Chain A
Amino acid sequence: MKWLKRDHTRLKKLLIRAYHEKEKPDVDELWQISVMRHIRSLGPVRSERGYVGLFEQSVWRLAPVTGLLILILIALLLTLDFMPDYEMAKIFIDDPVEFTVVQWFGV
């Protein structure tokens, strides 16, 4: 059977009306008493967030900045043509203190 737009619109109208015509139950006073009893049993509301909550909040606030920083560093490394092996060897040779220590150990 073809689902013509006209048919679909009619069915949609019927379904929407059926959805909105659900009857709301009348809750009695006992329900209210039971909700309030439950709430009183919970004790006072904590107005301050715990350390974990504060930590979570700050972590998520810093996440975009951290992400941006990582991207900038990657871009910087790519543009500078950074070669880790070469740089390490350069530092190793250039730094006399490190070099002496290395010699001392006989490496």
Chain B
Amino acid sequence: MNNGSSKPSDEEIVRRVIGGDIDAFESILLRYKDHVLKIVTKHVPYREVEETAHDVFVRAYQSLATFKGKSGFKNWLSAIAVRACYDFWRKHYRSRELPMSSLSEDHQEWLEEVMSDRSDQSFDDRVSQEKARELLEWALDRLSPEDRTVLELVYLEGRSGREAADLLGWSVPNVKVRSLRARRKLRHLLAGLVEV
């Protein structure tokens, strides 16, 4: 329990919200706004970030009673954020309402350069980074929501199978198998681009 001068703990705020003080949830919103936005920005398109982050906090509020405090509020909220992003892609995958990104010849040329260049030429410039981002988005758009999410968590964020499984609420073997398949698909997609 905190004294009056320090900030109340997450558990304390949660207790207050559950006790009927809805406004206390604003402290959680202010405390974790940046953390949630950081997660959501990585997983959904830029224009969908605000709406998805909004959804994350609403979901968190609605399931606040299920928070047991085992692994900390931040981890609990992170799992909600990742699952909200996964649900976003599931919904999008079903309706196909977002246009799929496309590539130009420039992207193919850039990829060929990266793959064929034997020297340690730097690909640090801004244009190169932009090309890499667009290429990645193009490839991720062609994966299923499951493959996409696992690939982002394990391959691109470098999380362990256990961490990804905890965030998604899946089993560890499922994450590992899915991750292997998704990596293979990504490789196949990019290889197909070079071979065209």
Question: Is B167 in the interface zone, CB < 8 Å from A?
Answer: no
Question: Is A96 in the interface zone, CB < 8 Å from B?
Answer: no
Question: Is B105 in the interface zone, CB < 8 Å from A?
Answer: no
Find out whether the CB atom of B58 lies under 8 angstroms from the CB atom of A32.
Answer: no
| Chain B residues whose C-beta falls within 8 Å of the C-beta of A39 in the assembled complex | 22, 25, 57-58, 61
| Chain B residues whose C-beta falls within 8 Å of the C-beta of A1 in the assembled complex | 112, 115-116, 191, 194-195
Of the residues A7, A18, A32, contact of B133 by C-beta under 8 Å: A18
| Chain A residues whose C-beta falls within 8 Å of the C-beta of B158 in the assembled complex | 16
Question: Is A42 in the interface zone, CB < 8 Å from B?
Answer: yes
Question: Is B100 in the interface zone, CB < 8 Å from A?
Answer: no
Q: CA separation between A89 and B58, bound complex, in Å?
A: 64
Question: Is B49 in the interface zone, CB < 8 Å from A?
Answer: yes
Smallest CB-CB separation from A4: which chain B residue?
Answer: B115
Scan A35-56; emit 1 where CB is below 8 A from any B CB, else 0: 1101110111111110000000
Find out whether the CB atom of B132 lies under 8 angstroms from the CB atom of A35.
Answer: no
Of the residues A10, A22, A42, contact of B42 by C-beta under 8 Å: A22
Query: Quick one: which of A1-26 are within 8 Å of B by CB?
Result: 1, 3, 7-8, 10-12, 14-25
Scan A49-69; emit 1 where CB is below 8 A from any B CB, else 0: 100000000000000000000
Find out whether the CB atom of A22 lies under 8 angstroms from the CB atom of B187.
Answer: no
Q: CA separation between A36 and B61, bound complex, in Å?
A: 10
Stretch at the interface among B4-12, B30-38, B74-82, B171-179: B30-38
Q: Min CB distance, A52 to chain B, in Å? A: 14
Query: Quick one: which of B2-56 are within 8 Å of A by CB?
Result: 17-18, 20, 22-23, 25-26, 29-30, 33-34, 37-38, 41-42, 46, 49-50, 53-54
| Nearest 10 A/B pairs, CB to CB | A18-B132, A18-B133, A14-B132, A19-B156, A24-B41, A7-B115, A45-B64, A47-B18, A39-B61, A1-B194
- Report A's interface with B, CB cutoff 8 A: 1, 3, 7-8, 10-12, 14-25, 27, 31-32, 34-36, 38-40, 42-49
